Every structure is written in structure tokens, then in C-alpha cells.
Amino acid sequence: MFLTFLVQLKINNLVYKQGGLEIHKSLKDLSLVIFIKMGPQLPIGSFLAGGIGVELIYSFIIIVCGLMIYFSTKEMDKLTSYEGIKYFRLSFLFFALAYFFRYFIQFFLFSFNLKGILEFSPMFFGAISLLIFLYFSSMALFFLLYSVVWKKWDHSRLTITLFNLFSLIIAFASIFIGGRLIYLIINLILLLIVLSILVIAHKNSKKKPKTGSPFIIYLLLSIFWILNITDVLIPKFLSIYQLFVYLVSIALFMIILYKVLKKTGN
């Protein structure tokens, strides 16, 4: 009888070597899925039972919300080429992409029996998807900020280049420098940048504050998204509050999606 096992490893304080590639200590908190293939196919049920089910549903909701916001504002962007709309929708596309790379790639590889790639080098694959996740997450946050403050910042090309640069630094530093303290410092710096830009933009805003101002939603979304990143990098750090972080993040995305659909008339 053929059997297929799913083994989820949390690597602690170990440096692994595989196929000549040295895996850095920074990957110690990364949950890795290692397949011990003894049979042809792994049922999806086993995958969900592996503790990834909740996160997969969460990722799916975030991806759907992000893509719905992106596509429902497409017509407006095409008609106006308005910078604010462009960066707003790009931000949600990047949120969706970040979560796609976080879980769905692993899920698809699993489901469609493309295990060979993971067998070849699971840690390398995990590091790449984490790198892409961190890059897209940071870009999403920066674009969300830029959609609010673009009128005050003249050099859009320079700003976008700086955003890309910062996001790449955050992603590579998280992968190659590693360590919980480094992760926390990186996220704290990111949070401080995001919050200070949002608060300054809100203070300088000439518009009178009205009920349901998006400022609070953006602020909360930024905080909870950084908690999401922390959760990926240091799973144990937020393990008790993980579900709470997921639920609040979903609620914030749903509120924004509702407002977008209401305003676009879709």
C-alpha cells in the first residue's frame, strides 16, 4: 500500500545544508513542509489537516478581497489615470499577490502533484516565497500610503524607486540577516515609517474630518498588516493572538471592499 506523509518541521537553531546550499539561521522559524513520498498522491484533506487550513482560508479571503478591489476600480483608473486611484488599486493587488505567494503556491504544488520542486530544495523554495511575500507586503503598504500623500510628494518616479529599494532591503534583510530581534526591529521601523507618514498626511489634510474617515481604517490596516508580517516571520510571537489578527485583518479588508463596491456602484 502506498502511503504519503506530510511532515511539518519547525527548525530551531540549526543550520541546514542541502544540495550545497547553506540555509541560514534566519530560516529557523519558517514552517517547512517536507514530503516523504511513498505513494503517488496526497489528498487535499491531509493538507488542510496539517494546520494550514485556517491560514489557507484566511489567505483566500484576503486574495479575493484584494483582487475585487483591484478589478472594481479598473474602469475609474482607465478613465481618469488619476495617480491616487492607480496607487490605491496597486496596493490591493500587491496585498493579494503577497498572500498568493505566502500560501497558495505551496498549496498548488501540493495539490497538483508538483512535489518534485519541493523535494529538490524545500528550504530554498520556502525562502524564495518568503522573500516575495515580504517584498509585495512592503510595497502594498507603501503604495497605500502613497495613494494618500502623492499630491504632496513631487518626485513620483524617485519615490517609487525608493519604495522598491526599501521593500527589497526589508525582504533581503529578513531572509539573510535573520534573528527574532532583527525581524522585530525591521517591523518596528516599517510601522514607524507608515504611522508617521499617515499621521502627517492626516494633520496636513485640508479636508474637514468626517464620519467614517478612511484614515482610521488605513491606520488599523497598516498596524494589522505589520502584525501579519511579524506572524509569518516569528510564528510563536503572536501565536495566541493569531486568530484575532486574522479576524481583524479580514474585517478591515471587508470594510474597504464594501466601501469600494458601494462607491464604484459595482
- Residue 265 φ/ψ, nearest 5 degrees: 75, 20
Within 8 A by CB and 6+ apart from 74, the residues are: 89
Q: Does 80 bind another protein (CB under 8 A)?
A: yes
Within 8 A by CB and 6+ apart from 184, the residues are: 230, 234, 237
Q: Does 71 bind another protein (CB under 8 A)?
A: no
Q: Which of 6, 11, 85, 105 binds another protein (CB under 8 A)?
A: 85
Piece of the chain touching another protein by CB under 8 A; list 24-32, 41-49, 69-77, 96-104: 69-77
Q: Does 84 bind another protein (CB under 8 A)?
A: yes
CA-wise closest residue to 91 among 254, 266, 222, 190? 222
Helix (H) or strand (E) holding 123: helix 122-149
Q: Does 119 bind another protein (CB under 8 A)?
A: no
Does residue 134 contact residue 222 with C-beta atoms inside 8 Å?
Answer: no
Q: Does 148 bind another protein (CB under 8 A)?
A: yes
The Cα-based distances of 119 to 16, 52, 105, 109, 208 in angstroms read 15, 19, 15, 11, 57
Using CA atoms, how far apart are residues 215 and 212, in angstroms rounded to an integer?
A: 8
Closest distance of CB 88 from another protein, Å: 6
Q: Does 264 bind another protein (CB under 8 A)?
A: yes
**What cell does 210 get?**
468626517
Binding string, 226-245, against another protein, x = CB under 8 A?
--------------------
Does residue 234 contact residue 29 with C-beta atoms inside 8 Å?
Answer: yes
Piece of the chain touching another protein by CB under 8 A; list 40-48, 179-187, 188-196, 208-216: 208-216
Does residue 134 contact residue 174 with C-beta atoms inside 8 Å?
Answer: yes
Piece of the chain touching another protein by CB under 8 A; list 102-110, 122-130, 164-172, 211-219: 211-219
Piece of the chain touching another protein by CB under 8 A; list 27-35, 44-52, 167-175, 207-215: 207-215
If the CB atoms of residues 155 and 207 are measured against another protein, the closer one turns out to be 207
If the CB atoms of residues 73 and 249 are measured against another protein, the closer one turns out to be 73
Q: Does 255 bind another protein (CB under 8 A)?
A: no
Q: Which of 50, 179, 214, 235 binds another protein (CB under 8 A)?
A: 214
Block residue for cell numbers 530560516: 27
Q: Which of 58, 88, 142, 225 binds another protein (CB under 8 A)?
A: 88
Does residue 217 contact residue 255 with C-beta atoms inside 8 Å?
Answer: yes
The footprint of another protein (CB under 8 A) covers 73, 75-76, 79-82, 84-85, 88, 147-148, 205, 207, 213-215, 259-260, 263-265
